């Protein structure tokens, strides 16, 4: 049986008692419920200790009723959590670029999360190029994928993506970029070799698209990662130094 970490348990208990007050916000309790959902696959729950989803939801400010775009969702780990967090009045777009579909179709793509029971608020969309399939979103989220955009389409592809995200968001909307930290000045060839990216480059490119850097989280930082190994190397896989950047579209 999956066992919550002590910190997560404490957070959930604190949120429960806070939620019992009529004057307390329900956001933290909704985030807890999103993680505790018994319908989440065991594979997802096993990754919670490393991915810290409760802290992620709080940092991103996900709330019931919001519209969230999960860009390049992979197997849907965060898609399911977002689905739970925004609830029946919210919407989650699981947005996979056509390029990704073409690249991995021979290996077999994960089944759509929208087909799972209780996922009526999840919609599968296919981005054409880097044109996101949703508009007027409260949050666009991409996890461990920004470096891939550089690998697939270079700096222009990243610029196109950031422009598309900017247009998809409501004024005041949030753009979260989470990725594996790479050496300073790492070029596209280096990104392809290591599957990492220079954090400073991400900040520069996203701000150039019109965003404001609104916050940074250190919850997935690992000072023992040298940034020199490929992220799939067994010595570091699952424990890489990762940055989490929160950008905001101006009101």
Per-residue confidence (pLDDT) for residue 163, from 0 to 100: 95
List, for residues 211-235, the tens digit of each pLDDT value: 999 999 999 999 999 999 999 999 9
Stated pTM of the model: 0.85
Q: What is the mean pLDDT of residues 41-68?
A: 94
List, for residues 111-152, the tens digit of each pLDDT value: 999 999 999 999 999 887 677 766 789 999 999 999 999 999
Q: If 0-12 CB within 10 Å is exposed, 13-18 middle and 19+ buried, where does residue 47 land?
A: middle
Are the C-beta atoms of residues 28 and 58 closer than 8 Å to each other?
Answer: yes
**N-to-C CA span, the chain:** 45
Q: What is the mean pLDDT of residues 239-245?
A: 98
pLDDT of 99 over the 60 cut: yes
pLDDT of 18 over the 70 cut: no
Per-residue confidence (pLDDT) for residue 21, from 0 to 100: 38
Domains in the chain: ranges and CATH: 42-248 (3.40.50.150)
Cα-based distances in Å from 80 to 36, 170, 208: 11, 22, 31
Confidence label for 28 from pLDDT (cuts 50, 70 and 90): low
Q: What is the mean pLDDT of residues 237-242?
A: 96
Contacts of 136 (CB under 8 A, 6+ apart): 67, 168, 169, 170
Mean pLDDT of the chain: 87
Q: What is the mean pLDDT of residues 179-205?
A: 97
Per-residue confidence (pLDDT) for residue 5, from 0 to 100: 37
Q: What is the mean pLDDT of residues 23-31?
A: 51
Per-residue confidence (pLDDT) for residue 17, from 0 to 100: 33
């Amino acid at each position: 049986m999956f066992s919550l970490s002590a910190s997560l348990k404490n957070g959930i208990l604190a949120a429960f008692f806070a939620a019992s007050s009529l004057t307390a916000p329900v956001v933290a309790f909704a985030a807890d419920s999103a993680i505790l959902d018994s319908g989440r696959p065991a594979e997802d729950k096993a990754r919670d200790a490393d991915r810290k989803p409760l802290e992620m939801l709080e940092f991103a400010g996900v709330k019931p009723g919001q519209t969230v775009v999960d860009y390049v969702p992979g197997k849907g780990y965060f898609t399911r959590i977002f689905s739970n967090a925004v609830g029946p009045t919210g919407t989650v777009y699981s947005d996979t670029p056509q390029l990704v579909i073409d690249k991995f179709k021979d290996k077999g793509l994960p089944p759509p999360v929208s087909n799972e029971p209780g996922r009526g608020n999840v919609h599968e969309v296919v981005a054409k190029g880097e044109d996101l399939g949703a508009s007027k979103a409260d949050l666009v989220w991409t996890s461990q994928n920004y470096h891939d955009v550089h690998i697939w389409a270079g700096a222009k592809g990243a610029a196109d993506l950031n422009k598309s995200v900017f247009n998809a968001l409501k004024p005041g909307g949030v753009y979260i970029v989470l990725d594996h930290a790479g050496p300073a000045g790492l070029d596209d060839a280096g990104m392809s070799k290591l599957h990492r990216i220079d954090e400073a480059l991400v900040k520069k490119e996203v701000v150039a698209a019109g965003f404001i850097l609104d916050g940074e989280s250190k919850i997935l930082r690992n000072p023992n990662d040298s940034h020199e190994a490929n992220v799939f190397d067994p010595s570091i896989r699952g424990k890489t130094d990762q940055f989490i950047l929160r950008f905001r579209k101006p009101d």
